[in-house]
Chains A and B, each alone.
Chain A
Amino acid sequence: MRKTKEFIIEKLILVCGLASIFFVVLIFLFLLKEGLALFNIVGPLKFLFGKSWYPISEPPQLGILPLILGSLLVTFGAAIISIPIGIGCAIYIAEIAPLKIKEVLKAGIELLAAIPSVVLGFIGIVTLVPLVKNVFHLPTGLTALSGSIMLAFMAMPTIVSIAEDALYSVPKNYKEGAFALGATHWQTIWRVMLPAASSGIVAAVMLGIGRVIGETMAVMMITGNAAVIPNSILAPVRTLTATIAAEMGEAVVGSEHYFALFAIGIVLFVISFAINATADLFLHKRQ
Chain B
Amino acid sequence: MFKRMITILTVFIFVSSAFAASNKNSIQIKGSDTMVNLGQAWAEKYMEKNPGDFVAVTGGGSGTGLSSLISGTCDIAMSSRNIKEKEVAIAQKKGINPTEIKVALDGLAVVVNPSNTVNKLTLDQLAGVFSGRITNWKELGGRDKKIVVLSREVNSGTHVYFKEHVLRKNDPESKEEFSSSALMLSSSQAIADEVAGNPDAIGYYGMGYISKKQVPVAIAKDAGGEYVEPVIENVLNGKYPISRPLFLYTNGVPSGLVKKFVDYSLSAEGQAIVLATDFVPVKK
Closest B residue to A130 using CB positions: B197
Indicate if A283 sits at the interface (CB-CB under 8 A).
no
The complex places the Cα of A79 from the Cα of B145 at a distance, in Å, of 33
Indicate if B182 sits at the interface (CB-CB under 8 A).
yes
Q: How far is the CB of B274 from chain A (nearest CB, A)?
A: 25
Is the CB–CB distance between A249 and B177 below 8 Å?
Answer: no
The complex places the Cα of A228 from the Cα of B197 at a distance, in Å, of 23
| Residues of B within 8 A of A (CB-CB), count | 36
- Which of A49-57, A96-104, A262-270 makes up part of the contact surface? A49-57
**Given A57-B177, A252-B67: A140 and B183 within 8 A (CB)?**
yes
Q: How far is the CB of A71 from chain B (nearest CB, A)?
A: 15
Q: Which chain B residues (50-107) contact chain A, with CB distance < 8 Å?
A: 60-61, 63-64, 66-68, 70-71, 86-87, 90
- Which of A27-35, A81-89, A219-227 makes up part of the contact surface? A219-227
Indicate if A15 sits at the interface (CB-CB under 8 A).
no
The complex places the Cα of A227 from the Cα of B185 at a distance, in Å, of 12
Indicate if B37 sits at the interface (CB-CB under 8 A).
no
Is the CB–CB distance between A228 and B90 below 8 Å?
Answer: no
Is the CB–CB distance between B67 and A225 below 8 Å?
Answer: no
The complex places the Cα of A249 from the Cα of B86 at a distance, in Å, of 16
Q: Which chain A residues (19-69) contact chain B, with CB distance < 8 Å?
A: 52-57, 66
The complex places the Cα of A57 from the Cα of B164 at a distance, in Å, of 10
Indicate if A139 sits at the interface (CB-CB under 8 A).
yes
Interface centre among A130, A227, A246, A254 (most CB of B within 10 A): A246
Q: Which chain A residues (142-161) contact chain B, with CB distance < 8 Å?
A: 142
Is the CB–CB distance between B184 and A238 below 8 Å?
Answer: yes
**Given A226-B182, A247-B155, A249-B155: A54 and B71 within 8 A (CB)?**
no
Residues in A neighbouring B61, C-beta threshold 8 A: 249-250
Q: How far is the CB of A249 from chain B (nearest CB, A)?
A: 3
Q: How far is the CB of B86 from chain A (nearest CB, A)?
A: 7
Q: How far is the CB of B11 from chain A (nearest CB, A)?
A: 25
Q: How far is the CB of A201 from chain B (nearest CB, A)?
A: 36
Residues in A neighbouring B63, C-beta threshold 8 A: 249-251
- What does the 1/0 interface line of B102-144 toward A look like (CB < 8 Å)? 0000000000000000000000000000000000000000000
Indicate if A192 sits at the interface (CB-CB under 8 A).
no
Q: How far is the CB of A220 from chain B (nearest CB, A)?
A: 6
The complex places the Cα of A220 from the Cα of B146 at a distance, in Å, of 23
Q: Which chain A residues (120-143) contact chain B, with CB distance < 8 Å?
A: 125, 130, 133, 139-140, 142
* Total A-B residue contacts, Cβ distance less than 8 Å: 88
Interface centre among B68, B70, B182 (most CB of A within 10 A): B182
Residues in B neighbouring A200, C-beta threshold 8 A: none
Among the listed B70, B160, B181, B186, which residue makes an inter-chain contact with A220, where contact means beta carbons less than 8 Å apart? B186
Residues in A neighbouring B87, C-beta threshold 8 A: 252
Q: Which chain A residues (233-264) contact chain B, with CB distance < 8 Å?
A: 236, 238, 246-247, 249-255
Is the CB–CB distance between A54 and B177 below 8 Å?
Answer: yes
**Given A56-B154, A249-B60, A249-B67: A225 and B184 within 8 A (CB)?**
yes
Residues in A neighbouring B154, C-beta threshold 8 A: 55-56, 246-247, 250
Among the listed A53, A236, A254, which residue makes an inter-chain contact with B90, where contact means beta carbons less than 8 Å apart? A254
Is the CB–CB distance between A228 and B146 below 8 Å?
Answer: no
> A54-B177, A221-B186 are known contacts; what are 8 more A-B pairs with Cβ within 8 Å?
A125-B190, A140-B194, A226-B182, A227-B180, A228-B180, A246-B186, A249-B60, A250-B154
Interface residues of B (CB under 8 A from A): 60-61, 63-64, 66-68, 70-71, 86-87, 90, 145-148, 153-155, 160, 175, 177, 180-186, 190, 193-194, 197-198, 200-201
Can you name 29 A-B residue pairings with CB atoms under 8 Å?
A: A53-B180, A57-B175, A133-B198, A139-B145, A140-B194, A140-B198, A140-B200, A140-B201, A220-B186, A224-B184, A224-B185, A225-B185, A226-B182, A226-B183, A227-B180, A227-B184, A246-B154, A246-B155, A246-B184, A249-B64, A249-B67, A249-B155, A250-B64, A250-B67, A252-B70, A252-B86, A253-B67, A253-B70, A253-B71
